[in-house]
Amino acid sequence: MFGVIQSGLTAAIASGVDNLHFVKEGAFILSWLGSWLTSWALMVPVVLFAAPVIRRIVNSMSYE
């Protein structure tokens, strides 16, 4: 569940920044929503599969 929420929040922020230029045109919400849903759908599997690998790499780097 953490990965789903984390990827959704990250995609929402990145899509919002990328679509800021649509604020002047009044098309921000629709453009942002489409971008966010697309990027979230792509990022959920990436985050869910990458997280265990990243965790192992980080754990192997610890100085314990």
Q: Binning pLDDT at 50, 70 and 90, where does residue 2 land?
A: confident
How many domains does the chain fold into?
A: 1
Q: What is the mean pLDDT of the segment spanning 58-63?
A: 85
Q: What's the domain range around 34?
A: 2-60
Q: How many CA atoms lie within 13 A of 4 on its CB side?
A: 1
Q: Binning pLDDT at 50, 70 and 90, where does residue 64 land?
A: low
Q: What is the pLDDT of residue 62?
A: 78
56 pLDDT higher than 70 = yes
pTM recorded for the entire structure: 0.74
Q: What is the pLDDT of residue 5?
A: 92
In whole angstroms, give the CA distance from residue 56 to residue 63.
14
45 pLDDT higher than 80 = yes
Task: List, in sequence order, the alpha helices (H) in 1-64.
Answer: 2-18, 28-60
